[in-house]
């Protein structure tokens, strides 16, 4: 028996928790630990590639939306860590490579297109659950969908001020955040769940 399981089992006994609640705690604990490992791997690789702040911007944006809208997971948490590091470092590299060739006008169009895709994705598919984190009640679904939509609205308002030049935020970070939102939206699509990493 692992130390992790002993600690959680002891906590369950102390608090007189049901098996279902212990499973939820176990899932949350593992998700937290692997999220830390995931970010450490993202930071390490992006630091080596010289894209640390850009890659982190994309990852944090996607993570914020993912909390409420869900999305595809790999078949194991270890695979999820590696897959996340690959995806976000690719996004960081792409943004870093092409940002100088993207005008503010084109950036504006990219934002609008991404918001449109995100809006449709959230309406149709959010919250997208996983076997390890099932969403079973209509109330929970409605709540998470509403929060996802509200967060998208807040993000768009913030980005609107960036596009108007009313902040000092570099276009690079705007594009990175947009890329993060785009990936999170795509991760909700049913076809994404058919990727090999999900099996």
Interacting residues of 179 by C-beta distance below 8 A, sequence separation 6+: 58, 91, 94, 95
User: What are the 10-residue block averages of pLDDT along the chain, 199 residues in total?
Assistant: 59 61 66 86 96 96 92 74 93 94 92 96 84 69 92 93 73 94 92 67
Q: What is the CA radius of gyration of the chain?
A: 18
Query: What pLDDT shows up at residue 155?
Result: 96
Query: What pLDDT shows up at residue 161?
Result: 84
Q: Is the peptide bond preceding residue 120 cis, with omega within 30 degrees of 0?
A: no
Region for residue 100 given its phi and psi (left: phi exceeds 0; alpha: psi -120 to 50; beta: otherwise): alpha
Interacting residues of 161 by C-beta distance below 8 A, sequence separation 6+: 167
Instruction: Give φ, ψ of 143 to 5 degrees.
Output: -65, -50
At 97-118, the pLDDT tens digits run 999 899 989 999 999 999 999 9
The structure's pTM equals 0.83
């Amino acid at each position: 028996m692992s130390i992790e399981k002993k600690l959680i089992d002891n906590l369950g006994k102390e608090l007189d928790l049901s098996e279902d609640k212990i499973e939820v705690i176990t899932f949350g604990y593992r998700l937290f630990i692997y999220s830390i490992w995931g970010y450490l791997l993202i930071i390490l690789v992006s630091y080596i590639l010289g894209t640390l702040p850009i890659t982190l911007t994309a990852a944090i944006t996607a993570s914020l939306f993912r909390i409420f809208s869900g999305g595809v997971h790999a078949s194991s948490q270890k695979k999820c860590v590696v897959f996340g590091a690959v995806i976000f470092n690719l996004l960081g590299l792409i943004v870093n490579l092409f940002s100088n060739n993207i005008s503010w006008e084109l950036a504006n169009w990219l934002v609008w297109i991404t918001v449109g895709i995100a809006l449709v994705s959230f309406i149709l598919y959010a919250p997208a659950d996983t076997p390890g984190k099932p969403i079973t009640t209509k109330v929970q679904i409605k709540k998470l969908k509403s929060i996802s939509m509200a967060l998208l609205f807040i993000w768009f308002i913030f980005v609107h001020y960036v596009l108007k030049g009313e902040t000092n935020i570099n276009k690079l970070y705007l594009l990175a955040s947009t890329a993060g939102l785009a990936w999170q939206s795509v991760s909700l699509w049913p076809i994404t769940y058919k990727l090999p990493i999900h099996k």
